[in-house]
Amino acid sequence: MKAVLFAGNGTVTVESVAEPVVEDPADAVVRVRRAAVCGTDLHAVTHGEHLPRGSVLGHEYVGEIVGTGPAVRGHQVGDLVVGADFTACGTCWWCRRGDHWECPQRRFFGTGAAYGPPLAGSQAELVRVPFADTVLRPVPAGIALDAAVFLGDTLATGYAAVRRAELTPGDTVVVLGGGPVGQLTSLTAQACGAGTVIVVEPVAARRDLAAREGAVVADPTIAEAIVAHLTDGRGADAVIDAVGGTLGLDTAFTLVRRRGTIVSVGVHTDATFALPVARAFADELTMRFAIGDLMRDGEALVALVASGVLDPTVVASGTVALDDVPEAYRAMAQRRTLKTLIAT
């Protein structure tokens, strides 16, 4: 089968590899109908210390089951399914609480050993899915492939951020970053009762998209003034960092109000962060981190999309074939596109 492989030095290639097979009774093999190129994929190939050359990339996918192990009870061959971007056993103490990310058997598709033992990714014609009954969920009639592929990661991440922020209806929310996660976080916040949502983003085209989708937008150089103006100087009730790194966190602290909440869903690789402890204490700030989880939040995510309240495809810049994925990586890295889907 064809698959997108890490070729080293920040590059990817498309090559033929062996087809995956059922290796464990709880496995399913899915024929991928849609995949996507994600910011996490770009990060993985740029910082490839955990990613051996020849690794199959990708972690967002929707497709049809073509094989199952004897322990799979919730799915059968022919089912159209969407998968979470990582695996969990579904039965341990963590999983029973809905904390699938903490499962000792977690593996993240297509990222090497960065977040657990390596597992081949989904930018391929076929993908093997461990713990299929937990990791996969049916795609209801009426949800298109292009929308369903966002359920496993990008929309799940935005939803997790909004839920972790514990919004009160009418709250002012700042979203840092107008990439795919930031855009869908903005839409989710609006759908979940936020009053004003302000997307802070340096790229004009991304600000334009956020504005068309109902957000107030701001270039980072004027964000503090805009937030102060819209909140009578108080600051935002919640700031959601969809960028990651110290810059996003530092910016969040300048925009949040006293007794406000900061939630970060951007990828962090720095070992430390200089937390402004004196201000955090004096202003009773809350700081949280969140990771999207289709396995936990699937019902809500499907409902948001199926009802038409939220359309995740607004961030899709286009669709390419597997052979054209290397150029899609380059375009996304250069911010010429927002989110590229893959038709296999």
Residue 330 to residue 199: CA distance in whole angstroms = 25
Give residue 118's pLDDT: 97
How many other CB atoms are found less than 10 A from the CB of residue 211? Answer: 13
Query: Is 298 in contact with 323 (CB distance < 8 Å)?
Result: no
pLDDT digits (tens, 9 = 90+) for 200-227: 999 999 999 999 999 999 999 999 999 9
Query: Is 253 in contact with 233 (CB distance < 8 Å)?
Result: no
Which percentage of the chain shows pLDDT scores above 70? 100
Instruction: Please name the amino acid found at residue 262.
Output: I
Query: Is 172 in contact with 145 (CB distance < 8 Å)?
Result: no
- pLDDT of 48 > 90? The answer is no
Q: How confident is the model at residue 269 (pLDDT cuts 50, 70, 90)?
A: confident
Domain final residue pick, 257, 274, 289: 289
Residue 2 to residue 124: CA distance in whole angstroms = 6
For the residues of 213-279, what is the DSSP string, one character each?
A: TT-EEE-GGGHHHHHHHHTTTS-EEEEEE-S-HHHHHHHHHHHEEEEEEEEE-S----S-----HHH
52 and 34 in a single domain? The answer is: yes
Domain final residue pick, 289, 304, 323: 289
Average pLDDT over every residue of 249-278: 94
pLDDT digits (tens, 9 = 90+) for 19-38: 999 999 999 999 999 999 99
8 and 117 in a single domain? The answer is: yes
106 and 128 in a single domain? The answer is: yes
Longest dimension (CA), the chain: 61
Q: With CA atoms as reference, report the closest residue to 179 among 316, 293, 34.
A: 316
124 and 223 in a single domain? The answer is: no
Give residue 268's pLDDT: 85
93 and 167 in a single domain? The answer is: no
Q: With CA atoms as reference, report the closest residue to 297 among 147, 82, 106, 126.
A: 82
202 and 270 in a single domain? The answer is: yes
Give residue 223's pLDDT: 98
* DSSP-assigned beta bridge partners for residue 262: 239, 287
148 and 25 in a single domain? The answer is: yes
Give residue 88's pLDDT: 98
In CATH, what number is assigned to the domain containing residue 134?
3.90.180.10
Residue 297 to residue 291: CA distance in whole angstroms = 11
Give residue 43's pLDDT: 86
DSSP 312: G
Query: Is 89 in contact with 102 (CB distance < 8 Å)?
Result: no
Q: How confident is the model at residue 267 (pLDDT cuts 50, 70, 90)?
A: confident
277 and 149 in a single domain? The answer is: no
Domain interval for residue 315: 2-153+293-343
What residues contact 9, with CB distance under 8 A and at least 6 apart?
Answer: 48
Query: Is 154 in contact with 179 (CB distance < 8 Å)?
Result: no
55 and 169 in a single domain? The answer is: no
Give residue 50's pLDDT: 87
In CATH, what number is assigned to the domain containing residue 201?
3.40.50.720
pLDDT digits (tens, 9 = 90+) for 51-107: 999 999 999 999 999 999 999 999 999 999 999 999 999 999 999 999 999 999 999
Question: How many domains is the chain built from?
Answer: 2
142 and 262 in a single domain? The answer is: no
61 and 94 in a single domain? The answer is: yes
* DSSP-assigned beta bridge partners for residue 218: 200
339 and 197 in a single domain? The answer is: no
